[in-house]
Structure formats: structure tokens, C-alpha cells
Amino acid sequence: MHERAPAFGGKDGRSYSVATFVDDTPDQGGRYGAALLFVRWSEAGDRPVGHLETDYIAYGRTPAEALAPLLALTLHDLKTHLDACVEGEGTGKREGGRV
């Protein structure tokens, strides 16, 4: 309807979309890590202009097992993670890196 990706507002007043990601390979302990990726949209909402990532939120013996807890997060949980990433961005941590 608005010709842009579904998004919600961060503490910084910008629009973000959220996606999940899981490591392609397991760590030395045989666990896959899963995290959230928040895509920041331009003021017009027509293109991505950056992103923020959480640290790993969940781990599993398989990618699906690691991803399951992220897919169960509520919108309130996602907003809490986004706000923490936005706050972390102000502490000198690099945008696009895990926060």
C-alpha cells in the first residue's frame, strides 16, 4: 500500500525492518548462533540505508533449532532488541556490526 517494506520505529525516530539470520556453519562447540538484523530505511522509506545487528540471541545444534526462539519473539521483544541496538550505536560501536 505504501510502496515500502513493513517497518516500525526505533528510538532514533528512524524506520526499521527486522530479519533473522543463522550462522552457515557451527562454532567449535557444534552450535549454530542466531541473531536479529534490523534494516534501517531512508526517510522516504524507499531504500535501505544501513543496518544494526544483535549479538547471538539463541543457539542450537541445527540452524532450525537456533532460529526457533527468534521466530517466537513478540513484537514487543523485537522492539526491545531494536532499542538496545540503537542505544548501543551511540556508544561508539560500529553500525553494521553486532551490538
**Percent of the chain whose predicted confidence (pLDDT) is above 90:** 62
Does residue 43 surpass a pLDDT of 60?
A: yes
For the chain, the average pLDDT equals: 85
Of 16-30, 39-53, 60-74, 85-99, the poorest mean pLDDT is in 85-99
Residue ranges per structural domain of the chain: 8-89
Split at pLDDT 50, 70, 90, the class of 5 is: low
Model pTM?
0.80
Please tell me the predicted confidence (pLDDT) of residue 94: 36
7-15 long-range contacts, CB within 8 A, separation 24+: 7/41, 7/45, 8/75, 8/78, 8/79, 8/82, 10/38, 10/40, 10/82, 10/83, 10/86, 11/82, 11/83, 11/86, 11/87, 12/86, 12/89, 14/40, 14/41, 15/40, 15/41, 15/45
| pLDDT average, residue stretch 46-73 | 94
Please tell me the predicted confidence (pLDDT) of residue 44: 83
Query: Which one has a higher pLDDT value, 2 or 60?
Result: 60
